[in-house]
Amino acid sequence: MTSASPWIPVALSADIEAGTSAGTLVNGEERVVWRDDKGEIHVWEDRCPHRGMRMSFGFVRGDHIACLYHGWRYDTGGQCRYIPAHPDLDVPQTIKVPTFAATERAGIIWMAPEGADAAALSTLHETAEAVRSLYLALSTNAALLAVTGAPPEGYSPVPGAPDTVTLQGNNATVLIAAQPRDTSRTALHITVSGNSSAATRRTLALWAIDLRNRLEAQTSEAA
Ligand code: FES
Q: What is the pLDDT of residues 107-129, one digit of tens each?
A: 999 999 999 999 989 989 999 99
Same domain, 115 and 134: no
Residue 118's SS3 state is: helix
Tell me if 104 is assigned to some domain: yes
How far CA 29 is from CA of 75, 199, 207, in Å, comes to 22, 36, 30
CATH classification of the domain holding 154? 3.30.310.80
Tell me if 56 is assigned to some domain: yes
Same domain, 13 and 47: yes
Angle at which helix 140-149 crosses helix 198-222, to 10 degrees, equals: 120
For 29, phi then psi, to 5°, come to -105, 140
What average pLDDT score do residues 67-75 get?
A: 97
- Rounded Cα distance between 86 and 185, Å, is 42
| Domain edge (last residue) among 121, 154, 185 | 121
Residue nearest to atom 4 of ligand 1 (CA): 70
Same domain, 99 and 140: no
Same domain, 42 and 115: yes
| Domain edge (last residue) among 65, 95, 121 | 121
- Rounded Cα distance between 122 and 74, Å, is 31
What average pLDDT score do residues 168-188 get?
A: 96
Tell me if 68 is assigned to some domain: yes
Domain ranges, residue 38: 8-121
- Rounded Cα distance between 200 and 185, Å, is 27
Ligand 1 is surrounded, with C-beta below 6 A, by 48, 50-51, 53, 67, 69-70, 72
Residue nearest to atom 1 of ligand 1 (CA): 51
pLDDT recorded at residue 3: 53
CA of 17 to the centre of ligand 1 (A): 24
SS3 content of the chain, % helix, strand, coil (to 5): 20, 40, 40
> Which of 135, 180, 212 shows the shortest CA–CA distance to 26?
180
CA of 42 to the centre of ligand 1 (A): 19
Question: Which of 69, 73, 74 is the best mutation target for the ligand 1 pocket, counting ligand atoms within 8 Å of the beta carbon and taking the most?
Answer: 69
pTM for the full model? 0.94
- Rounded Cα distance between 137 and 216, Å, is 8
Burial of 183 (0-12, 13-18, 19+ CB in 10 A): exposed
The answer to whether the beta carbons of residues 150 and 169 sit under 8 Å apart is no
Rounded to the nearest integer, the mean pLDDT of the chain is: 94
CATH classification of the domain holding 99? 2.102.10.10
Same domain, 26 and 67: yes
CA of 54 to the centre of ligand 1 (A): 9
